[in-house]
A and B are shown apart, each in its own frame.
Chain A
Amino acid sequence: MTNNKESWANRLANLDKRWVFLCILLAVGFPLFFPIGLPMRPSQPVKDFYNVLQALPDGSMILLSGDYDPGTKAELYPQNVAILQQACKKHMKVVAIALWPTGPPMLERAFNEVAVGQYGYKYGIDYVNLGFKEGREAVMVEMGRSIRQAFPRDFYGTPISQIPLMDKVENYNSFPVLIDISAGYPGTKEFVQYTQGRFNITLLSAAPAVSVPEFSAYYQSRQIKGMLTGIAGGAEYEALIGHPALSARAMDGISFGHIVIILFILFGNVFYFLGKRTSA
Protein backbone atom coordinates (compact mmCIF):
# COMPACT_ATOMS: atom_id res chain seq x y z
CA MET A 1 0.00 0.00 0.00
CA THR A 2 2.80 2.36 1.01
CA ASN A 3 4.73 1.45 -2.15
CA ASN A 4 1.68 2.17 -4.29
CA LYS A 5 1.17 5.53 -2.57
CA GLU A 6 4.82 6.40 -2.98
CA SER A 7 4.95 5.52 -6.64
CA TRP A 8 1.68 7.40 -7.30
CA ALA A 9 2.93 10.58 -5.60
CA ASN A 10 6.34 10.34 -7.23
CA ARG A 11 4.85 9.69 -10.62
CA LEU A 12 2.72 12.84 -10.37
CA ALA A 13 5.60 14.86 -8.95
CA ASN A 14 7.71 13.82 -11.97
CA LEU A 15 4.92 14.27 -14.52
CA ASP A 16 6.21 14.77 -18.07
CA LYS A 17 6.17 18.53 -18.67
CA ARG A 18 4.48 17.99 -22.05
CA TRP A 19 1.25 17.14 -20.21
CA VAL A 20 1.51 20.54 -18.53
CA PHE A 21 1.97 22.23 -21.92
CA LEU A 22 -1.05 20.38 -23.31
CA CYS A 23 -3.26 21.39 -20.38
CA ILE A 24 -2.24 25.04 -20.75
CA LEU A 25 -2.84 24.89 -24.51
CA LEU A 26 -6.35 23.52 -23.97
CA ALA A 27 -7.14 26.00 -21.20
CA VAL A 28 -6.00 29.01 -23.24
CA GLY A 29 -7.58 27.75 -26.46
CA PHE A 30 -10.97 26.69 -25.07
CA PRO A 31 -12.43 30.23 -24.69
CA LEU A 32 -11.48 30.99 -28.31
CA PHE A 33 -14.38 28.77 -29.36
CA PHE A 34 -16.58 29.29 -26.29
CA PRO A 35 -16.13 32.91 -25.10
CA ILE A 36 -17.29 33.46 -21.53
CA GLY A 37 -16.85 37.21 -21.04
CA LEU A 38 -15.49 37.23 -17.49
CA PRO A 39 -16.33 40.50 -15.68
CA MET A 40 -13.61 43.10 -15.21
CA ARG A 41 -13.17 46.28 -13.23
CA PRO A 42 -11.04 49.07 -14.77
CA SER A 43 -8.09 49.80 -12.53
CA GLN A 44 -7.01 53.33 -11.59
CA PRO A 45 -3.95 53.50 -13.93
CA VAL A 46 -6.19 52.54 -16.87
CA LYS A 47 -8.88 55.05 -15.85
CA ASP A 48 -6.21 57.74 -15.61
CA PHE A 49 -4.91 56.86 -19.07
CA TYR A 50 -8.40 57.15 -20.50
CA ASN A 51 -9.23 60.35 -18.59
CA VAL A 52 -6.05 62.18 -19.65
CA LEU A 53 -6.83 61.58 -23.33
CA GLN A 54 -10.54 62.24 -22.87
CA ALA A 55 -9.85 65.60 -21.22
CA LEU A 56 -7.97 66.88 -24.28
CA PRO A 57 -9.95 69.13 -26.64
CA ASP A 58 -11.22 67.48 -29.83
CA GLY A 59 -8.72 67.77 -32.68
CA SER A 60 -5.66 67.94 -30.40
CA MET A 61 -2.36 66.69 -31.77
CA ILE A 62 -0.73 63.82 -29.88
CA LEU A 63 2.69 62.19 -30.11
CA LEU A 64 2.69 58.39 -30.26
CA SER A 65 5.90 56.42 -29.88
CA GLY A 66 5.57 52.82 -31.11
CA ASP A 67 8.50 51.12 -29.41
CA TYR A 68 7.57 47.48 -29.85
CA ASP A 69 7.97 44.52 -32.17
CA PRO A 70 6.09 41.41 -33.33
CA GLY A 71 7.34 39.60 -30.22
CA THR A 72 5.15 41.80 -28.01
CA LYS A 73 2.39 42.25 -30.58
CA ALA A 74 0.06 40.02 -28.55
CA GLU A 75 -0.25 42.60 -25.78
CA LEU A 76 0.75 45.87 -27.40
CA TYR A 77 -0.94 45.80 -30.79
CA PRO A 78 -4.46 45.59 -29.27
CA GLN A 79 -3.50 48.51 -27.01
CA ASN A 80 -2.20 50.44 -30.03
CA VAL A 81 -5.49 49.83 -31.85
CA ALA A 82 -7.56 50.86 -28.82
CA ILE A 83 -5.52 54.06 -28.32
CA LEU A 84 -6.13 55.01 -31.95
CA GLN A 85 -9.84 54.26 -31.47
CA GLN A 86 -10.08 56.81 -28.67
CA ALA A 87 -7.88 59.33 -30.52
CA CYS A 88 -9.83 59.03 -33.77
CA LYS A 89 -13.17 59.32 -31.98
CA LYS A 90 -11.94 62.70 -30.73
CA HIS A 91 -10.61 63.62 -34.21
CA MET A 92 -7.09 63.91 -32.82
CA LYS A 93 -4.10 64.33 -35.11
CA VAL A 94 -1.46 61.70 -34.50
CA VAL A 95 2.28 62.07 -35.06
CA ALA A 96 3.95 58.67 -34.69
CA ILE A 97 7.60 57.87 -34.20
CA ALA A 98 9.53 54.72 -33.30
CA LEU A 99 12.72 54.10 -31.38
CA TRP A 100 12.57 50.40 -32.25
CA PRO A 101 13.35 49.43 -35.88
CA THR A 102 10.33 47.11 -35.88
CA GLY A 103 7.96 49.82 -34.63
CA PRO A 104 7.02 51.62 -37.88
CA PRO A 105 5.34 48.65 -39.63
CA MET A 106 3.36 47.88 -36.46
CA LEU A 107 2.20 51.50 -36.33
CA GLU A 108 1.40 51.45 -40.04
CA ARG A 109 -0.77 48.37 -39.64
CA ALA A 110 -2.67 49.92 -36.72
CA PHE A 111 -3.17 53.19 -38.64
CA ASN A 112 -4.47 51.32 -41.68
CA GLU A 113 -6.84 49.25 -39.56
CA VAL A 114 -8.30 52.07 -37.46
CA ALA A 115 -7.45 55.59 -38.63
CA VAL A 116 -7.72 54.93 -42.38
CA GLY A 117 -10.03 51.91 -42.38
CA GLN A 118 -12.65 53.11 -39.90
CA TYR A 119 -12.31 56.90 -39.67
CA GLY A 120 -11.07 57.88 -43.14
CA TYR A 121 -7.95 59.64 -41.87
CA LYS A 122 -5.68 61.14 -44.54
CA TYR A 123 -1.92 60.57 -44.38
CA GLY A 124 0.07 63.76 -43.84
CA ILE A 125 -3.03 65.73 -42.81
CA ASP A 126 -4.54 63.72 -39.94
CA TYR A 127 -1.66 61.42 -39.10
CA VAL A 128 1.95 60.80 -39.99
CA ASN A 129 4.39 57.94 -39.42
CA LEU A 130 7.88 59.41 -39.03
CA GLY A 131 9.49 55.99 -38.84
CA PHE A 132 12.45 54.77 -36.87
CA LYS A 133 15.44 56.72 -35.67
CA GLU A 134 18.55 55.14 -34.15
CA GLY A 135 20.07 56.84 -31.12
CA ARG A 136 17.76 55.82 -28.26
CA GLU A 137 18.13 58.27 -25.35
CA ALA A 138 20.01 60.74 -27.56
CA VAL A 139 17.01 60.89 -29.93
CA MET A 140 14.63 61.42 -27.00
CA VAL A 141 16.66 64.40 -25.83
CA GLU A 142 17.09 65.71 -29.38
CA MET A 143 13.31 65.67 -29.86
CA GLY A 144 13.06 68.07 -26.94
CA ARG A 145 14.95 70.57 -29.05
CA SER A 146 13.63 69.73 -32.52
CA ILE A 147 11.57 66.81 -33.75
CA ARG A 148 12.06 68.09 -37.30
CA GLN A 149 15.82 67.69 -36.92
CA ALA A 150 15.55 64.27 -35.29
CA PHE A 151 13.22 63.00 -38.04
CA PRO A 152 14.07 64.83 -41.29
CA ARG A 153 12.01 62.36 -43.35
CA ASP A 154 8.98 60.19 -42.66
CA PHE A 155 8.84 56.38 -42.82
CA TYR A 156 8.31 56.49 -46.60
CA GLY A 157 11.23 58.85 -47.26
CA THR A 158 9.17 62.02 -47.78
CA PRO A 159 10.91 65.15 -46.42
CA ILE A 160 8.82 66.42 -43.51
CA SER A 161 8.77 69.92 -45.07
CA GLN A 162 6.33 68.38 -47.59
CA ILE A 163 3.99 67.00 -44.90
CA PRO A 164 1.29 69.55 -43.91
CA LEU A 165 0.71 68.06 -40.43
CA MET A 166 4.36 68.64 -39.55
CA ASP A 167 4.09 72.42 -40.11
CA LYS A 168 2.86 72.86 -36.54
CA VAL A 169 5.39 70.48 -34.97
CA GLU A 170 8.55 71.77 -33.36
CA ASN A 171 9.34 69.76 -30.23
CA TYR A 172 7.58 68.12 -27.25
CA ASN A 173 5.85 71.42 -26.50
CA SER A 174 3.80 70.96 -29.67
CA PHE A 175 1.93 68.08 -27.99
CA PRO A 176 -0.24 68.05 -24.87
CA VAL A 177 0.56 64.38 -24.33
CA LEU A 178 3.13 61.74 -25.30
CA ILE A 179 1.94 58.13 -25.43
CA ASP A 180 4.68 55.53 -25.40
CA ILE A 181 3.84 51.97 -26.42
CA SER A 182 6.83 50.37 -24.81
CA ALA A 183 8.07 46.79 -25.06
CA GLY A 184 11.39 47.40 -23.31
CA TYR A 185 14.57 49.34 -24.01
CA PRO A 186 14.41 52.05 -25.19
CA GLY A 187 10.93 52.90 -24.00
CA THR A 188 8.91 54.33 -21.15
CA LYS A 189 11.68 54.05 -18.56
CA GLU A 190 14.03 56.12 -20.73
CA PHE A 191 11.31 58.65 -21.58
CA VAL A 192 10.80 59.12 -17.83
CA GLN A 193 14.51 59.41 -17.11
CA TYR A 194 15.57 61.67 -19.96
CA THR A 195 12.59 63.73 -21.05
CA GLN A 196 9.54 63.66 -18.78
CA GLY A 197 10.90 65.95 -16.07
CA ARG A 198 13.29 67.90 -18.26
CA PHE A 199 10.70 68.90 -20.86
CA ASN A 200 7.65 68.74 -18.57
CA ILE A 201 5.84 66.12 -20.63
CA THR A 202 2.51 64.50 -19.79
CA LEU A 203 3.51 60.89 -20.35
CA LEU A 204 1.17 57.92 -20.78
CA SER A 205 2.50 54.40 -21.09
CA ALA A 206 1.17 51.24 -22.73
CA ALA A 207 3.33 48.27 -21.83
CA PRO A 208 3.35 44.48 -21.53
CA ALA A 209 2.42 42.92 -18.20
CA VAL A 210 6.05 42.05 -17.52
CA SER A 211 6.81 45.80 -17.18
CA VAL A 212 4.27 46.42 -14.40
CA PRO A 213 6.67 46.05 -11.44
CA GLU A 214 9.09 48.53 -13.01
CA PHE A 215 6.61 51.12 -14.26
CA SER A 216 4.32 51.08 -11.22
CA ALA A 217 6.93 53.10 -9.33
CA TYR A 218 6.79 55.79 -12.03
CA TYR A 219 3.00 55.80 -11.94
CA GLN A 220 2.99 56.08 -8.15
CA SER A 221 5.36 59.07 -8.40
CA ARG A 222 3.08 60.55 -11.11
CA GLN A 223 5.92 60.64 -13.63
CA ILE A 224 3.58 58.52 -15.75
CA LYS A 225 0.06 59.92 -15.65
CA GLY A 226 -1.70 56.76 -16.81
CA MET A 227 -0.76 53.21 -17.65
CA LEU A 228 -2.09 50.28 -19.71
CA THR A 229 -0.40 47.04 -18.82
CA GLY A 230 -0.72 43.78 -20.66
CA ILE A 231 -3.85 42.15 -21.97
CA ALA A 232 -5.69 42.96 -18.72
CA GLY A 233 -4.95 46.68 -19.03
CA GLY A 234 -5.89 46.57 -22.69
CA ALA A 235 -9.19 44.83 -21.96
CA GLU A 236 -10.08 47.35 -19.23
CA TYR A 237 -9.25 50.21 -21.60
CA GLU A 238 -11.32 48.69 -24.40
CA ALA A 239 -14.24 48.53 -21.96
CA LEU A 240 -13.78 52.22 -21.09
CA ILE A 241 -13.73 53.38 -24.71
CA GLY A 242 -16.78 51.19 -25.37
CA HIS A 243 -15.04 49.08 -27.98
CA PRO A 244 -14.31 45.58 -26.65
CA ALA A 245 -11.94 43.89 -29.10
CA LEU A 246 -8.79 41.77 -29.11
CA SER A 247 -7.71 42.26 -25.48
CA ALA A 248 -11.19 41.62 -24.12
CA ARG A 249 -11.34 38.41 -26.14
CA ALA A 250 -7.94 37.28 -24.90
CA MET A 251 -8.78 37.82 -21.22
CA ASP A 252 -10.88 34.63 -20.93
CA GLY A 253 -8.11 32.44 -22.32
CA ILE A 254 -5.45 34.05 -20.17
CA SER A 255 -7.58 33.73 -17.03
CA PHE A 256 -8.12 30.02 -17.73
CA GLY A 257 -4.40 29.59 -18.38
CA HIS A 258 -3.64 31.20 -15.03
CA ILE A 259 -6.09 28.93 -13.22
CA VAL A 260 -4.38 25.85 -14.70
CA ILE A 261 -0.93 27.14 -13.71
CA ILE A 262 -2.11 27.87 -10.14
CA LEU A 263 -3.57 24.35 -9.92
CA PHE A 264 -0.32 22.82 -11.17
CA ILE A 265 1.66 24.82 -8.59
CA LEU A 266 -0.67 23.66 -5.81
CA PHE A 267 -0.70 20.01 -6.94
CA GLY A 268 3.05 20.10 -7.52
CA ASN A 269 3.65 21.21 -3.94
CA VAL A 270 1.15 18.74 -2.49
CA PHE A 271 2.68 15.77 -4.36
CA TYR A 272 6.18 16.95 -3.54
CA PHE A 273 5.50 16.97 0.21
CA LEU A 274 3.43 13.79 -0.02
CA GLY A 275 6.30 12.05 -1.79
CA LYS A 276 8.79 13.36 0.78
CA ARG A 277 6.68 12.14 3.71
CA THR A 278 6.06 8.67 2.28
CA SER A 279 9.73 8.19 1.39
CA ALA A 280 10.69 9.25 4.93
Chain B
Amino acid sequence: MDFLWITIAAAATLAIFSFLYKDNPFYKFAEHLFVGIASGYVVVIEYYNVFRPNLWDPLTAGSDYWLIIPLVLGIFMFTRFFSRIAWLSRWSMAVIIGTYSGLAVIGFAEGDLLNQVRASLVPLISTEAVKKLASDPGLFTFLDFMTNPLIVIGFICILVYFFFSKEHRGTYGSLAKVGTGLLMIGFGAGYGYTVMTRMALLFDRLFFLCSEWLHLI
Protein backbone atom coordinates (compact mmCIF):
# COMPACT_ATOMS: atom_id res chain seq x y z
CA MET B 1 0.00 0.00 0.00
CA ASP B 2 2.90 2.33 0.87
CA PHE B 3 4.40 1.70 -2.57
CA LEU B 4 1.15 2.78 -4.22
CA TRP B 5 1.10 6.12 -2.38
CA ILE B 6 4.79 6.69 -3.04
CA THR B 7 4.22 5.92 -6.74
CA ILE B 8 1.35 8.44 -6.84
CA ALA B 9 3.64 11.05 -5.22
CA ALA B 10 6.42 10.21 -7.70
CA ALA B 11 4.01 10.49 -10.63
CA ALA B 12 2.87 13.90 -9.36
CA THR B 13 6.50 15.04 -9.05
CA LEU B 14 7.31 13.89 -12.59
CA ALA B 15 4.15 15.53 -13.92
CA ILE B 16 5.21 18.86 -12.39
CA PHE B 17 8.79 18.44 -13.67
CA SER B 18 7.41 17.84 -17.18
CA PHE B 19 6.65 21.58 -17.36
CA LEU B 20 10.41 22.17 -17.67
CA TYR B 21 10.17 20.61 -21.13
CA LYS B 22 6.93 22.37 -22.06
CA ASP B 23 3.40 22.97 -20.81
CA ASN B 24 1.30 19.80 -21.04
CA PRO B 25 -1.90 18.14 -19.69
CA PHE B 26 0.01 16.10 -17.07
CA TYR B 27 1.39 19.28 -15.54
CA LYS B 28 -2.05 20.92 -15.57
CA PHE B 29 -3.61 17.88 -13.90
CA ALA B 30 -0.95 17.77 -11.14
CA GLU B 31 -1.24 21.51 -10.58
CA HIS B 32 -5.04 21.38 -10.18
CA LEU B 33 -4.80 18.27 -8.02
CA PHE B 34 -2.39 20.07 -5.67
CA VAL B 35 -4.56 23.18 -5.37
CA GLY B 36 -7.66 21.09 -4.67
CA ILE B 37 -6.04 18.85 -2.07
CA ALA B 38 -4.30 21.77 -0.32
CA SER B 39 -7.57 23.71 -0.07
CA GLY B 40 -9.47 20.69 1.22
CA TYR B 41 -6.75 19.94 3.75
CA VAL B 42 -6.80 23.49 5.14
CA VAL B 43 -10.61 23.42 5.48
CA VAL B 44 -10.52 20.13 7.43
CA ILE B 45 -7.65 21.29 9.69
CA GLU B 46 -9.36 24.61 10.39
CA TYR B 47 -12.59 22.81 11.25
CA TYR B 48 -11.13 20.23 13.64
CA ASN B 49 -8.26 22.27 15.13
CA VAL B 50 -9.82 25.71 15.29
CA PHE B 51 -13.57 25.89 14.80
CA ARG B 52 -14.54 22.91 16.98
CA PRO B 53 -12.22 23.32 20.01
CA ASN B 54 -12.14 27.12 20.10
CA LEU B 55 -15.69 28.06 19.17
CA TRP B 56 -18.24 25.30 18.75
CA ASP B 57 -17.38 23.06 21.73
CA PRO B 58 -17.19 25.88 24.35
CA LEU B 59 -20.40 27.40 22.97
CA THR B 60 -22.40 24.17 22.99
CA ALA B 61 -21.01 23.28 26.44
CA GLY B 62 -22.38 26.61 27.65
CA SER B 63 -19.08 27.73 29.15
CA ASP B 64 -18.24 30.84 27.07
CA TYR B 65 -21.27 32.71 25.78
CA TRP B 66 -19.21 35.74 24.77
CA LEU B 67 -17.95 33.59 21.87
CA ILE B 68 -21.27 34.39 20.17
CA ILE B 69 -19.66 37.71 19.14
CA PRO B 70 -16.86 36.15 17.00
CA LEU B 71 -19.39 33.59 15.72
CA VAL B 72 -21.68 36.36 14.47
CA LEU B 73 -18.75 38.29 13.01
CA GLY B 74 -17.62 35.10 11.27
CA ILE B 75 -21.08 34.56 9.79
CA PHE B 76 -21.06 38.18 8.61
CA MET B 77 -18.03 37.36 6.43
CA PHE B 78 -20.22 35.01 4.39
CA THR B 79 -22.70 37.80 3.63
CA ARG B 80 -20.32 38.84 0.83
CA PHE B 81 -22.08 36.20 -1.27
CA PHE B 82 -25.34 38.20 -1.09
CA SER B 83 -25.06 41.68 -2.58
CA ARG B 84 -27.97 43.17 -0.58
CA ILE B 85 -26.41 42.44 2.81
CA ALA B 86 -22.74 42.27 1.75
CA TRP B 87 -22.07 45.47 3.72
CA LEU B 88 -22.30 43.46 6.96
CA SER B 89 -18.96 41.79 6.14
CA ARG B 90 -17.31 45.21 6.54
CA TRP B 91 -17.93 45.02 10.29
CA SER B 92 -15.94 41.80 10.49
CA MET B 93 -13.23 43.27 8.28
CA ALA B 94 -13.14 46.39 10.48
CA VAL B 95 -12.47 44.26 13.58
CA ILE B 96 -9.76 42.25 11.79
CA ILE B 97 -8.03 45.31 10.29
CA GLY B 98 -8.26 47.31 13.52
CA THR B 99 -6.85 44.48 15.66
CA TYR B 100 -4.03 43.62 13.29
CA SER B 101 -3.09 47.26 12.64
CA GLY B 102 -2.77 47.82 16.38
CA LEU B 103 -0.72 44.65 16.77
CA ALA B 104 1.49 45.53 13.79
CA VAL B 105 2.35 48.99 15.13
CA ILE B 106 3.40 47.61 18.51
CA GLY B 107 5.29 44.73 16.90
CA PHE B 108 7.18 46.95 14.49
CA ALA B 109 8.07 49.52 17.14
CA GLU B 110 9.19 46.93 19.70
CA GLY B 111 10.74 44.30 17.49
CA ASP B 112 12.14 46.21 14.53
CA LEU B 113 12.56 49.93 15.06
CA LEU B 114 14.02 50.25 18.56
CA ASN B 115 16.09 47.07 18.63
CA GLN B 116 17.45 47.48 15.11
CA VAL B 117 18.46 51.10 15.71
CA ARG B 118 20.12 50.07 18.98
CA ALA B 119 21.93 47.19 17.23
CA SER B 120 23.20 49.57 14.54
CA LEU B 121 24.89 51.83 17.10
CA VAL B 122 28.13 49.85 17.29
CA PRO B 123 31.72 51.11 17.65
CA LEU B 124 33.46 51.55 14.29
CA ILE B 125 36.23 49.17 15.41
CA SER B 126 35.47 46.27 17.73
CA THR B 127 38.33 45.71 20.20
CA GLU B 128 37.37 42.06 20.52
CA ALA B 129 37.66 41.59 16.73
CA VAL B 130 41.05 43.36 16.75
CA LYS B 131 42.31 41.01 19.47
CA LYS B 132 41.07 37.97 17.53
CA LEU B 133 42.70 39.21 14.31
CA ALA B 134 45.99 39.89 16.11
CA SER B 135 46.09 36.48 17.81
CA ASP B 136 44.90 34.45 14.80
CA PRO B 137 45.37 36.35 11.51
CA GLY B 138 43.27 34.82 8.74
CA LEU B 139 40.38 35.37 6.35
CA PHE B 140 37.61 34.69 8.86
CA THR B 141 39.07 36.83 11.64
CA PHE B 142 39.61 39.61 9.09
CA LEU B 143 35.98 39.36 8.00
CA ASP B 144 34.95 39.52 11.67
CA PHE B 145 37.07 42.65 12.02
CA MET B 146 35.32 44.20 9.00
CA THR B 147 31.80 43.60 10.37
CA ASN B 148 31.47 46.79 12.44
CA PRO B 149 32.96 49.19 9.85
CA LEU B 150 30.64 47.70 7.20
CA ILE B 151 27.60 48.08 9.47
CA VAL B 152 28.41 51.71 10.32
CA ILE B 153 29.39 52.81 6.81
CA GLY B 154 26.57 50.82 5.19
CA PHE B 155 23.99 52.18 7.62
CA ILE B 156 24.99 55.80 6.93
CA CYS B 157 25.35 55.45 3.14
CA ILE B 158 22.03 53.63 2.68
CA LEU B 159 20.21 56.19 4.82
CA VAL B 160 21.78 58.93 2.69
CA TYR B 161 20.56 57.17 -0.47
CA PHE B 162 16.98 57.16 0.85
CA PHE B 163 17.09 60.85 1.82
CA PHE B 164 15.69 62.60 -1.25
CA SER B 165 15.27 66.15 0.13
CA LYS B 166 18.81 66.99 -0.97
CA GLU B 167 20.11 66.47 -4.48
CA HIS B 168 22.50 63.49 -4.82
CA ARG B 169 25.58 65.46 -6.02
CA GLY B 170 29.19 65.88 -4.88
CA THR B 171 30.27 64.10 -1.68
CA TYR B 172 26.64 63.55 -0.75
CA GLY B 173 26.03 61.89 -4.12
CA SER B 174 29.12 59.70 -3.68
CA LEU B 175 27.83 58.48 -0.33
CA ALA B 176 24.46 57.72 -1.95
CA LYS B 177 26.27 55.79 -4.72
CA VAL B 178 28.09 53.68 -2.11
CA GLY B 179 24.68 53.10 -0.50
CA THR B 180 23.26 51.99 -3.88
CA GLY B 181 26.19 49.60 -4.36
CA LEU B 182 25.69 48.08 -0.92
CA LEU B 183 21.97 47.67 -1.59
CA MET B 184 22.77 45.89 -4.87
CA ILE B 185 25.15 43.54 -3.03
CA GLY B 186 22.37 42.87 -0.53
CA PHE B 187 19.86 42.13 -3.28
CA GLY B 188 22.41 39.87 -5.01
CA ALA B 189 23.03 37.95 -1.79
CA GLY B 190 19.28 37.65 -1.28
CA TYR B 191 18.83 36.29 -4.79
CA GLY B 192 21.72 33.87 -4.25
CA TYR B 193 20.01 32.49 -1.16
CA THR B 194 16.79 32.10 -3.15
CA VAL B 195 18.66 30.04 -5.73
CA MET B 196 20.09 27.94 -2.90
CA THR B 197 16.56 27.21 -1.64
CA ARG B 198 15.45 26.15 -5.13
CA MET B 199 18.46 23.84 -5.43
CA ALA B 200 17.47 22.24 -2.12
CA LEU B 201 13.97 21.62 -3.44
CA LEU B 202 15.35 19.96 -6.56
CA PHE B 203 17.70 17.78 -4.51
CA ASP B 204 14.85 16.74 -2.20
CA ARG B 205 12.71 15.61 -5.13
CA LEU B 206 15.59 13.74 -6.78
CA PHE B 207 16.38 12.07 -3.46
CA PHE B 208 12.73 11.06 -3.08
CA LEU B 209 12.55 9.64 -6.61
CA CYS B 210 15.85 7.74 -6.41
CA SER B 211 15.63 6.62 -2.79
CA GLU B 212 12.06 6.19 -1.61
CA TRP B 213 10.50 5.32 -4.97
CA LEU B 214 13.11 3.50 -7.07
CA HIS B 215 15.41 2.38 -4.20
CA LEU B 216 18.45 3.13 -6.37
CA ILE B 217 20.45 4.53 -3.44
Contact = CB atoms under 8 A, between A and B. Distances in A.
Given A18-B20, A194-B111, A254 B99 contact: no
Given A132-B45, A133-B50, A193-B108, A221 B118 contact: yes
A197 B107 CA distance: 10
A71 B210 CA distance: 19
B71 to A, nearest CB: 14
Q: Is the interface of A mostly helix, strand, loop or mixed?
A: helix
A113 interface: no
B195 A258 contact: yes
Contacts of B217: 32-33
A210 B189 CA distance: 10
B49 interface: yes
Nearest to B43: A101
Interface stretch (B23-31, B170-178, B199-207): B199-207
B126 interface: no
B45 A101 contact: yes
B199 A254 contact: yes
A36 to B, nearest CB: 14
A246 B190 CA distance: 24
A144 interface: no
B115 A24 contact: no
A193 B200 contact: no
Given A213-B193, A250-B203, A134 B107 contact: no
A250 B116 contact: no
A210 B107 contact: no
Contacts of A29: 206, 210
30 contacts: A24-B202, A28-B199, A28-B203, A29-B210, A72-B197, A74-B201, A74-B203, A101-B49, A104-B45, A133-B50, A134-B49, A137-B100, A192-B112, A193-B107, A193-B110, A193-B111, A193-B112, A194-B106, A197-B115, A210-B197, A217-B116, A221-B118, A221-B119, A229-B193, A231-B199, A249-B207, A250-B200, A257-B202, A258-B195, A258-B196
Interface in B24-78: 41-42, 45-46, 48-50, 53-54
Interface stretch (A7-15, A115-123, A149-157): A149-157
B41 A254 contact: no
A111 B5 CA distance: 21
A101 B21 contact: no
A63 to B, nearest CB: 18
Nearest to B58: A152
A137 B105 CA distance: 12
Interface string A59-78: 00000000000011111000
Given A101-B42, A137-B100, A28 B202 contact: yes
Contacts of B4: none
Contacts of B100: 137
A102 interface: yes
Given A25-B202, A132-B50, A253-B206, A75 B111 contact: no
Q: How large is the interface on B (under 10, 10 to 19, 20 to 34, 35 or more residues)?
A: 35 or more
A120 B154 CA distance: 51
Interface string A126-141: 0000011110011001
Given A193-B111, A230-B196, A213 B189 contact: yes
Interface string B183-215: 000100110011111011111111100100000
A255 to B, nearest CB: 9
Nearest to B99: A138
Contact of A230 (B20, B190, B200, B204): B200
A134 B70 CA distance: 14
Contact of A250 (B107, B119, B207): B207
Given A21-B20, A74-B201, A209-B200, 5 more contacts: A32-B210, A153-B53, A157-B48, A230-B200, A258-B195
A32 B206 contact: yes
A101 B46 contact: yes
Contacts of A222: 119
B194 A210 contact: yes
Nearest to A131: B49
Contacts of A25: 202, 206
